[in-house]
Amino acid sequence: MKILILGAQARYERYMPHLPFIRQQELVFMDKESSEAQILAAAADADILFVDAITPVSGTLMAQMPGLKLVHSEGVAYDKIDLAAARARGIDVCNNRGCNAGAVAEQAVLLMLMLLRQELEGDRAVREGRQMEMKERCMREGLRELSECRVGLIGFGDIAKATAQRLAPFGCEVFYNSRHRRSRDEEETFGVTYLSQEELVSSCDIVSLHCAVTDQTRNMVNTAFLQRMKSTAYLINTARGDLVDNQALREALMAGTIAGAGLDTVAPEPVAADHPLVTMPAPGRDRLVFSPHLGGITEGSFRRAHLHMWRNAERVADGHRPDNIVNGEQ
């Protein structure tokens, strides 16, 4: 089989599992920025396509790859892949659901703690010789412990569950909202309480996003959403930047509508230097913590994800259906 890989060859080689199947295949590596014309010139006859989670795969491209059987996201996200076009052509689209859940959950907790403890400002204060000035201010104004916070998780998939598990030792109350309420046993297992989205947003001290991007969730964090949040509350996004209306968040941070935000994902990606959240002046700038979409890219995550991708490719080669199909019949 011919397997086209849109991604860094060095990364794929580093995390490539020791499977005899791989050595028997024709692998074609291309830069993820390659044009559709370049892709078709090199591998129009590919059977399988591995693709970075934020790289688009259009219906037009798939229509010109007649032997394509599988498109596999290297990550959990798959919103850049034309699912309907793939379904119409009988092409399975798969993701690596759950492979990075623990890693992203750690990143979410990290952002919560950085905001609560004003870590970025604290680092600057020490470097600039203002340690005692900031320490006195924090003692005067107060610092909240995570244990004192009500944390609300929007979405309750693998990453949200892993986040709930990592929050449990801190002793904070954890709430969740999802399209379907979980069973009482599952809620007890993860130590969470169900709330409507409106009640969760308005009552929690930290609102953390863990849902996929759909037509219903795109820009869900808009002006109305942010105005429902407490003025002392923080927004965390380790899911997808498309969930957030950037201009609405900028205005909320500038006005102090919310206390702050921690973002591992920002749309569009890559984030440009002139992005409205990046260029925000004080006081909004000081209420925002960025991380460069590091949540799910730990070594452990990549090892698990790449093993799953190659196992799925082997299943397809053997005539079986792969795991984690995301574009099944609707």
The owner of tokens 């791989």 is 22
Q: What is the CA radius of gyration of the chain?
A: 22
The yes-or-no answer on residue 137 being catalytic is no
Q: Which of 287, 293, 306, 308 is catalytic?
A: 293
Contact of 71 with 92, CB cutoff 8 Å: yes
Q: Which of 269, 275, 311, 315 is catalytic?
A: 269
Separation CA 199–CA 176 (nearest Å):
10
Which three-class secondary structure state does DSSP give residue 287? helix
Contact of 56 with 78, CB cutoff 8 Å: no
The yes-or-no answer on residue 87 being catalytic is no
The owner of tokens 């086209």 is 4
Burial class from Cβ neighbours inside 10 Å (0-12, 13-18, 19+) for residue 5 reads: buried
Tokens (6 digits) for 64 = 């010109």
The yes-or-no answer on residue 240 being catalytic is yes
Contact of 101 with 79, CB cutoff 8 Å: no
Residues with catalytic function: 240, 269, 293
